A and B are shown apart, each in its own frame.
Chain A
Amino acid sequence: MDFFLQLLVNGLSIGLLYGLSAMGFVMIFKSSSVLNFAHGELLAIGAFIFLVLTSWAHVPILLSFLITLAGCFVLGFLVERIFLRPLIGEQLIFVIMLTVGLAAMFKGLLLFIFGGNLHTYPDFLPEGLALHMGAVYVPPVYVASSCIGIVFLVLFGLFFKFSSQGIFMRSVADNQTASMSLGVHVKKVFALSWAIAALVAGMSGIVLGIINGTNVHEISAIGLKVFPVVILGGLDSIGGAIIGGIIIGLLETFTGGYISPSLKDVVPYIILVFILLIKPYGLFGLVEIERV
C-alpha cells in the first residue's frame, strides 16, 4: 500500500511536470497551429539560462528566475519573428521540418556550450517545504513545482479570460480570418503567443532542472513526451494539457513500478496510438469532424 501511495505521489508530481511542459506547446499550437518539435530545447534553454545565472554568476535566486523568464520571452518572440513568420500559410511539412531544424540548432548550441553532462543547481529550497503524509514523503522540489504550476495555471486562466491580449489570442485560435476582420493584429498575436509559450517553457525547464538536474539530452527527450500528453488532453486545451500530463505521468510511474521499468518510456507512445485511433481530438480538444 505504501509502495502504491509513493508511486501515486511520484506519478502525480511527474505528471504535473509533463503538464507544465506541455502548456507552452499547447499555447503555440492553439494560436498558430504550429507543431513545435523544438519545445524540449526551449525547456532546456530556460533551464540553462537559470543555471548560468545562479551557479556561475551567483545572481540571487528570485532575480535570476525573473531574468530567465524575461530572456525566454524575448527568445520566443525572436524565434517567431525570424523563423516562423515567413512560413505563415506554407505547407505543414515545411513548418514541421523548420521546428525540427531549430531543435537541432538549439541542441547543438547547448551541447557545444555546456556539454552532455549533468549540471545541478545549488540547493536553495528549504526542507520545511517537504510534506510527510504517513509513510509517504514528498520532497520540497515537488511541493514547490506543484505550487508554481498551480499559480501559473491560475494566472493563465485569468489572462485568457480577462485581459484583452488573452481574448485576442483566443479569438485568433478560434478563427483567424474572422478575428483579423474584427481588427485583431494576427501577426502580433502569433509573436506574443510564441513569447508567452517560451516563457512558460523556460519556467518548466527551471522546475525540471531543480528536480533532475539539467542535462540537454534528458530535457529534450521530455520535449518529445509532450506529444502523448497533448494528444491525450486535446491539442488545443491548456487545462487538458495538465490533466493529460497527470494521466500520462501516473501511467508511466505505475508501469515502471508494477510491470517493467524498461516499458516505462514507451508506454506513453502506445497510449498515444490508441487515443489517436479511438478519439483523435483527445479528452478536451476541439472536434473538427471531417470524413473522407
Chain B
Amino acid sequence: MRKLHFHPCGNYKEHYASELAIFETDFGRLWLSIGLVSLFFVLPFISGPYFIYVLNMIGIAAIAALGLNILIGFTGQISLGHGAFFGVGAYAGAILATRLGFPFWLSLPAAGLITALVGMVFGIPSGRLKGLYLTIATLAGQFIIEYILVHWESLTQGTMGITLPAASIFGLEISSDRGFFYVIYICLAAITFMTVNIMRTRFGRAFVAIRDNDRAAEGMGIPIFAYKLLSFAISSFYAGFAGAIWAYYSISITTEPFTLGLSVEYIAMVVIGGLGSIPGAIFGAVFITGLNEILRFITDAFLNMGISTSFGLNLAALREFAFGLAIVLFILFEPKGLAEVWRIIRSNFRLWPFSY
C-alpha cells in the first residue's frame, strides 16, 4: 500500500504534476467517494418523489451551469444566450427523437453537438468583439434564436410544442423520477469529471490565459479566436446536452421557457456559485434551483391559506424580487460566491483548533 497523503504544513510542491493534482490529500478522495455513494445509493431512497424531482432539476441546471462557467468563468466571455442554447438542445433532442427516431442514448450527445455548432455560429462575433460588445451580441443571439424557435413552425411546431417518446436505455424504459435521477446524475458526474480534466489540459490553460489577458495570450502564440470558438462550442455542448435531458424528462416541450430570464438564471448560478470554480457551478445550480422552489413553495402556501387570489398573484412578483435581491447581495458582499464560502468553512475545519 502506498503512503497516504495528508496536509503538509506548507507548500512543498516540487513538480507541476503535484500542482495540477485534483486531490491534494487522500481525505479528498475519501470524502468524494462517501459523497458519491450517498448520492447514488442513499439519497434516492430516503427522499420522496417531489424532492427527487427537485434534485433532478438541480442536476440538469448544474450541467448547463458547468458549461456556462467554462465560457464566463474560465474564458471570460460573457454570454447572455445560454438559455437559448439550452432551448436549442431541447428542440434538437426532441426533433431527433420524433422525426429521425434516434434512441435516447444517441440523441443526447447528438443534440449537444448540434447545439455546439449553433453556439459556434453565435460565437463568431467574439473574433472581433470583446467585453460588453460581445455581451450585447450574445443578447441579440438570444432573441434571434427565440424567434427562430417560435416561427420555424415546420421544424419546431411553433407554440404547439413537441411531445417526446419515452426514454429507454438498452430496452430499459426510464419513466420514473428515480430512473431519471440515475441518468442525470451519472451524466453530471461524467461531465464534471470531463470538465475538471479539460481545465488541466492545454486547452483549459489557454482559456484561462485568454481570460486573464487576451493580448498576452495572443503574444504567447495562443490562437485566441479558435480557442474562444472552442470555448463557445464546449459551453453550448453542455447546454444542449442538459436541454435534451430536460426535454426527455418533461416529456413535452414548448418554446416558452427559453427566454432571456433563463439565460439570466444561468449567469446567476455561475456568479453566485463562484466564477471559475467547478464546484461553484454546482453550488450555484443548487442555490438558484432551491431558491426558486422555496419561493414557489411560499407562494403556494400563501395561496392555500386563502389570502385573496390577487394578493397571491402579486406574490409571484415577489419571487422575482427575491431572485434579484439574492444576486445583488451576493455581488456586493461575497463576489467570489458560494465556492469561497465553502472554502472558508473547509479551512476552518482543517485548521481547527488553531485557526490563525
- Interface of A with B (CB < 8 Å)? 35, 83, 86-87, 90-94, 96-98, 100-113, 115, 224, 227-228, 231, 262-263, 265-266, 269-270, 272-273, 276-277, 280, 292
Interface on B for A, CB 8 Å cutoff?
Answer: 72, 78, 124-125, 128-133, 135-137, 139-141, 143-144, 146-147, 151, 214-215, 218, 224, 260, 264, 267-268, 271, 275, 310, 313-328, 331-332, 335
Given contacts A93-B267, A96-B78, A276-B136, 15 further A-B contacts (CB under 8 A): A35-B136, A97-B267, A97-B331, A98-B328, A104-B321, A104-B324, A107-B320, A113-B314, A227-B136, A262-B147, A266-B143, A266-B144, A273-B140, A276-B125, A292-B215
Q: What B residues does A277 contact at CB under 8 A?
A: 124-125, 128
Assess the A272–B136 pair: CB atoms within 8 A: yes
A105-B131 in contact (CB<8A): no
A87–B125 touching, CB < 8 Å: no
In the bound complex, CA of A108 to CA of B264 (Å) = 15
The answer to whether A100 and B144 touch across the interface, beta carbons within 8 angstroms, is no
Q: Which chain A residues lie closer than 8 Å to B271 at the CB level?
A: 93-94, 97
The answer to whether B317 touches A108 (Cβ under 8 A) is yes
Q: How far, in angstroms, from A270 to B135 measured CA to CA in the complex?
A: 15
Complex CA distance for A133 and B313, rounded to whole angstroms: 46
Is B324 in contact with A105, judged by CB distance below 8 angstroms?
Answer: yes
Are B325 and A105 in touch, CB under 8 angstroms? yes
Can you show 30 pairs from A to B with CB atoms below 8 A apart?
A: A35-B132, A35-B135, A86-B332, A94-B331, A94-B335, A105-B324, A105-B325, A106-B324, A108-B317, A108-B323, A112-B317, A113-B314, A115-B310, A115-B314, A227-B139, A228-B140, A262-B147, A262-B151, A263-B147, A265-B143, A266-B143, A270-B140, A272-B136, A272-B137, A272-B140, A273-B140, A273-B141, A273-B144, A277-B124, A292-B215
Is there contact, CB below 8 Å, between B131 and A101? no
Which residue of chain A is the closest to B72 with respect to CB atoms?
A93
Complex Cα–Cα for A91 and B316 (A): 32
Q: Is the CB of A269 within 8 A of B335?
A: no
Chain B residues with CB under 8 A of A269: 139-140, 143-144
